[in-house]
C-alpha cells in the first residue's frame, strides 16, 4: 500500500481558536513550515505539550499577563517564544480566544524538507531523527529565537512560519502522559501528546527540583 502524500492545504486561524487540549493532539502530523533567507525547512510535528494559561500551574501565564508572556493572551495562531536556562529557546503556538492565555509547546518533529540546513544548525545531532528531538533542538534547527516572538502563522505571505494540514495522526496512534520536567501542582496534568512509536519523540524526564545553594 502506498501512503498518500501529506495534504499541503494551509490550516486556518480557526484551527487554533479552540481550547488548548483540543488543539494539542490535533497538531500531531501537521507540517510546520519555517521560511528564512537561508531556505525553507518543513517539520512534521510528532510531540507537543498543552499549557492552559491562568488555570494551569505549569504555564508561564498562571500568575497573569506580563511583558514576557503577553503573546499567550493575544489572538490565536501566533508564535510564543521563550528563553530558558540561559541557553535555549522554545517555540509555542498560541491557542484559544484572545484574552485567554493558552499555548502548545512544540517538543519534537521530523524534518521532512531542509534537513541539510537543519544539520548545519544542529552539529551535535548523531542522525536526522535527532535534529528536532526535544523543544530546544527543534527551535535550534528552525533558527527560532525571541526575535520571532509574536510572529503570525497567518501573516499574509510575509510570515516566517506557516502550517499545513499534513497527515493528521489517528486517535488510536496518539499517546498521552505527564508533561516533561513540570513539577508542583502542574505535574499531575497528562497534557503531553505524541505519535506512538515515532523515533523522533523525545524521552520523558520527570521534574527534578533544583537544589538551593548553601
Using CA atoms, how far apart are residues 199 and 170, in angstroms rounded to an integer? 17
Whether 212 is covered by a domain: the verdict is: no
Whether 211 is covered by a domain: the verdict is: no
Whether 67 is covered by a domain: the verdict is: yes
Q: Which residues constitute the domain of residue 97?
A: 7-195
Tens digits of residue pLDDT in 79-103: 999 998 888 999 999 999 999 999 9
Tens digits of residue pLDDT in 118-152: 999 999 999 999 999 999 999 999 999 999 999 99
For cell 528563553, the residue is 83
Whether 203 is covered by a domain: the verdict is: no
Q: What confidence tier does 213 reach under pLDDT thresholds 50, 70, 90?
A: low
174 within 8 A of 195, measured Cβ to Cβ: yes
Domains in the chain, number: 1
At 214 the pLDDT is 46
At 117 the pLDDT is 98
Whether 202 is covered by a domain: the verdict is: no
Q: Kind and range of the H or E element at 77?
A: none
Tens digits of residue pLDDT in 198-210: 999 999 988 666 5
Say yes or no to pLDDT of 6 above 80. Answer: yes
Whether 20 is covered by a domain: the verdict is: yes
Whether 111 is covered by a domain: the verdict is: yes
Tens digits of residue pLDDT in 19-47: 999 999 999 999 999 999 999 999 999 99
Domain holding 119: CATH number?
3.10.300.10
Whether 205 is covered by a domain: the verdict is: no
Say yes or no to pLDDT of 177 above 50. Answer: yes
Amino acid at each position: 500500500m502506498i501512503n498518500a502524500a501529506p495534504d499541503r492545504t494551509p490550516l486556518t486561524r480557526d484551527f487554533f481558536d479552540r481550547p488548548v487540549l483540543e488543539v494539542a493532539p490535533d497538531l500531531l502530523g501537521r507540517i510546520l513550515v519555517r521560511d528564512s533567507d537561508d531556505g525553507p525547512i518543513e517539520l512534521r510535528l510528532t510531540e507537543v505539550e498543552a499549557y492552559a494559561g491562568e488555570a494551569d500551574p505549569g504555564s508561564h501565564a498562571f500568575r497573569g499577563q506580563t511583558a514576557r508572556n503577553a503573546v499567550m493572551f493575544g489572538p490565536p495562531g501566533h508564535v510564543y517564544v521563550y528563553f530558558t536556562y540561559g541557553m535555549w529557546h522554545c517555540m509555542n503556538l498560541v491557542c484559544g480566544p484572545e484574552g485567554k492565555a493558552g499555548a502548545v509547546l512544540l517538543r519534537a518533529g521530523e524534518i521532512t524538507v531542509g534537513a541539510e540546513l537543519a544539520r548545519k544548525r544542529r552539529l551535535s545531532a548523531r542522525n536526522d531523527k535527532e535534529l528536532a528531538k526535544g523543544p530546544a533542538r527543534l527551535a535550534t534547527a528552525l533558527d527560532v529565537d525571541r526575535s520571532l516572538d509574536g510572529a503570525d502563522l497567518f501573516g499574509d505571505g510575509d510570515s516566517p512560519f506557516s502550517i499545513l494540514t499534513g497527515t493528521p495522526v489517528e486517535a488510536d496512534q496518539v499517546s498521552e502522559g505527564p508533561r516533561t520536567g513540570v513539577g508542583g501542582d502542574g505535574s499531575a496534568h497528562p497534557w503531553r501528546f505524541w505519535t506512538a512509536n515515532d523515533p523522533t519523540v523525545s524521552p520523558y524526564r520527570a521534574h527534578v527540583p533544583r537544589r538551593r545553594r548553601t
